[in-house]
Amino acid sequence: MAKKKKTKYFSHTDRKVLFILLTVVLVFVVYDNRDFLFGIKKTVPETEKNYNHESLINRTEHNYGKEIDRLAGEFGLPAAYLKALVALECSGMKPPGTRFERHVFKRLKKLRDGKISKMENLKMTTVKNVNDDGLKNLATSWGPFQLMGYKCVILGIYVVDIRGDNSLYWGIKWIDLTYGSYLRKGRYRDAFHMHNTGDPFPSNGKSRTFDPDYVDRGLSLMKQFEQLK
């Protein structure tokens, strides 16, 4: 009995084409899942970022809205900016948290010990009699605007004032003194950058804030607070 000849379902050429097709499919599958397979962090385009956090806006408005509206009118500053700043700095929480800045503490110690002669508006004579615990208070950010403790010097008050019941008032007064003119001119990008770094937004377009999205988030939140009117 003659052997039954095996049927070839695919020719040599067909197998080559199939191999190529499977390779192409595999490449696309790996590429689409590269973030998961290789741990690559995906960068979200600026246009896809969403800063619309309804709970954040509602919490800030509930905890600080009325008082900010009143003080904004008193100082002639935009309430929407101040609310956006509170949302950025303390997430609208009441009471707000605190943040100790070790690098600021080290600089204050150098100032007190005469190793440097000046730190912003501070001189050695300002802190020469302050102990380490006192310097830690000066190196901590307080209140809804998260003002550094040593900012109290320019206001002629004590740290306890910017962390107490009137912290919102003193925070807005400090903003008015330091960069209120920018706000009155509508230069909000500069204002957000100044609050975080002490300088206007750089002319090269590269933010120097610790969070690179800080200014954009602030501008987006400001627009949303304006829409609540």
The pairing of strands 99-100 and 118-119 is unpaired
pLDDT under 70: residue ranges of the chain: 1-52
Give every CB contact of residue 74 below 8 A, 6+ residues apart in sequence.
Answer: none
**Residues 22-37 pLDDT 10s:** 665 565 544 444 444 4
Cα of 164 vs its chain's centroid, Å = 24
Q: What angle do CA 216, 89, 181 make, to 5 degrees?
A: 70
Q: Is residue 144 a contact partner of residue 98, using CB atoms and an 8 Å limit?
A: no
Phi and psi of 201, rounded to 5°?
-60, 130
Q: Which residue has the tokens 């001119």?
A: 185
CATH class of 52-96+164-226: mainly alpha
Tokens encoding 124: 């050695």
Tokens encoding 131: 């102990």
In Å, how far are 34, 82, 87, 95, 174 from 146, measured between CA atoms?
A: 40, 12, 11, 11, 12
What one-character-per-residue DSSP string does 97-121 give? --EE-HHHHHHHHHHHTTSSSEETT
> What is the reported pLDDT for 19?
67
In this structure, what DSSP letter does residue 51 have? -
Give the integer Cα–Cα distance in Å for 148 and 144: 11
> What is the reported pLDDT for 121?
87
Report the predicted TM-score, pTM, of the whole model to 2 decimal places: 0.76
> What is the reported pLDDT for 81?
98
